[in-house]
Amino acid sequence: MDRIDNYYTATQNDTTTYPPLESDISVDIAIVGGGFTGVATAVEMAERGFSVALCEANRIGWGATGRNGGQVTGSLSGDQAMLAQLRKRGHKDAEDFIWHLRWEGHDIIRERIARYGIECDLKTGHLHTAWHENDIPEFLNTVETAHRYGMEDDVAWLSQDEVHQMLDTPLYHGGIYNKRNLHLHSLNLCLGEARAASSLGAQLFEQTPVLDIVGRRQPHLKTAKGIIKAKKVVLAGNAYHKLVRKQLGGLLFPAVLGNMTTEPLSDELATKINSHDVAVYDSRMVLDYYRLTADNRLMFGGGTNYSGRELANVAASLTPSMLETFPALKGTRIDYAWTGTAGIVMNRIPLVGKLGSNVYYAQGYSGHGIATSHIMAEVLAEAVTGTLEKFDVFADFDHRRVPGAQLFGNGFLAMGMWYYQFREKLRNR
Ligand SMILES: Cc1cc2nc3c(=O)[nH]c(=O)nc-3n(C[C@H](O)[C@H](O)[C@H](O)COP(=O)(O)OP(=O)(O)OC[C@H]3O[C@@H](n4cnc5c(N)ncnc54)[C@H](O)[C@@H]3O)c2cc1C
């Protein structure tokens, strides 16, 4: 399938197509999936001198990577669950480990953009807003932690009034202003990284679904017109793949998220609603997220459907929240509206590990995957070259498998998420 029509595809700056696989080949590393996880892994492996082949069922960036909110934040999903598990295991530097890890993706992305000259509308600045008044103590605690780790210049607590000077909205009780966080054109970053991988000799194949992974010791990827023999395989299909269900089934759930962009706003209106050009998300479990694009559109997302079904009318369902946030946008046209599927893990800790001795996987960043996918790509590359320190930490995390998930679909998760939303409504009264 081709990429969907959305803001990202309408403004993509690279029209390269990669051919389908039509013969049998042998490589060191074969990768399934051409989103951030797969493409960033291809770059990491090719930079280390491995021969690489990547198969994407559709087009590079076709999945969540070409549809997301473009916010690169230090919100490592599952951090609290990780901390609890690491402490229980007696990990001495658990807090330091997680704190430093959460910023590594930013450095990788910045460095890669600079090294390969990737044009992807990179901007800095993010606001995590407090939806409820009783979020404030936790937010202050986060700011204090950031300062303890030396981020005084990058992270600040903003009062309700200060937030309202930045954003023309009646919402929020304050927020954390983070100057280290980034926002960018997600598809153009991924296409630039694909170009970088290809320039390093990686072979990229589009319109090439992997039908099966056969053999664990000497794994082969089976596709319609060719087989890839590999020393190692990396499974990077996230919420869109149906491979190795026996081992991975019931661990990851697809959540359909909506996203849209307005028509380009005048400079005056864009500055009025978001004077510091920050990316924003709020503190709710099912949150709104938004930012201004390079051509002054408001990109506004939210509204999660955990049943895995498509949202019926994205623009109609997101517009009331957008207008509640920015009443000044009344009458503004919506030019693009779309959905994408993110991979959610019950305890939110990314699913990273190994099946047998040579098939690795990394998936399930629970809606916070731009930085995390880049971190995991590096963790996988380090593991393949023998540095297992971080990989082992992730591979050892406990994950709950929902029994019978394959039989009953996402009904269990939908019920659980409905409960959280209901609890949030009660809390909001
Ligand atoms: C609407 C939306 C908004 C989001 N906003 C943000 C945000 O602002 N910030 C943030 O950090 N994260 C955000 N995320 C999450 C982020 O986009 C994802 O975590 C990240 O893109 C995951 O990358 P990935 O490569 O693992 O998966 P994907 O990008 O989904 O890529 C997986 C790819 O694998 C391919 N594939 C699957 N099966 C096979 C097969 N058998 N053979 C070959 N190829 C296969 C698919 O075609 C797909 O292209 C958002 C997600 C969505 C959906």
Q: Of the residues 58, 67, 240, 300, which should be mutated to test ligand 1's pocket, given the most ligand atoms within 8 Å of the CB?
A: 240
Model pLDDT, residue 401: 83
| Ligand 1 pocket residue status of 368, Cβ below 6 Å | yes
Calculate how far, in angstroms, residue 342's C-alpha sits from the geometric centre of ligand 1: 6
Q: Is the CB of 38 under 6 A from ligand 1?
A: yes
Is 69 near ligand 1, meaning CB less than 6 Å away? Answer: yes
Q: Whose CA is nearest to atom 16 of ligand 1?
A: 369
- Ordered alpha helix ranges (H), 65-167: 79-88, 94-116, 136-148, 160-166
Do 366 and 274 touch, CB atoms closer than 8 A?
A: no
Distance spanning both ends of the chain, measured CA to CA: 45
Give the separation between CA 162 and CA 159, rounded to whole angstroms.
5
pLDDT value of residue 412: 54
Q: Kindly state if the Cβ of 64 falls inside 6 Å of ligand 1.
A: yes
Closest CA to 261 of 171, 176, 177, 336: 336
**In angstroms, what CA-CA distances link 72 with 252, 268, 373?**
22, 26, 11
Integer CA distances (angstroms), 403 to 239, 344, 357, 400, in order: 18, 16, 26, 9
Low-confidence ranges of the chain (pLDDT < 50): 407-408, 427-429
- What's the gap in Å between 162 CA and the centre of ligand 1? 34
Whether the CB-CB separation of 175 and 155 falls below 8 Å is answered with no
The predicted structure's pLDDT at residue 417:
53
56 lines ligand 1 (CB under 6 A): yes
Q: How far is CA 124 from the centre of its chain?
A: 17
Best mutation site among 65, 234, 292, 376 for ligand 1, i.e. most ligand atoms within 8 A of its Cβ?
A: 65
Distance 373 CA to ligand 1 centre (A): 9
List the beta bridge partners of residue 360: 234, 354
Q: Could you tell which of 31, 241, 299 is best to mutate to test the pocket of ligand 1, judged by most ligand atoms within 8 Å of the CB? A: 241
Q: Single out the residue of 371, 361, 426 nearest to residue 399, CA to CA.
A: 361
* Max Cα-Cα span within the chain: 63
Give 224-234 pLDDT, tens digit per residue.
999 999 999 99
Question: Ramachandran region of residue 250, left (φ > 0), alpha (ψ -120 to 50) or beta?
Answer: left
Strand duo 252-262 + 334-345: pairing: antiparallel
Domain formed by 1-122+184-251+346-398, architecture: 3-Layer(bba) Sandwich (3.50)
The finding on whether 62 has its CB within 6 A of some atom of ligand 1 is yes
Would the pTM count as exceeding 0.85? yes
Which one, of 34, 98, 23, lies nearest residue 61 by Cα? 34
Q: Is the CB of 350 under 6 A from ligand 1?
A: no
Domain range list for the chain: 1-122+184-251+346-398
Q: Return the SS3 of 61.
A: coil
401 C-alpha to center of ligand 1: Å?
21
Q: Are strands 298-305 and 252-262 parallel, antiparallel or unpaired?
A: antiparallel
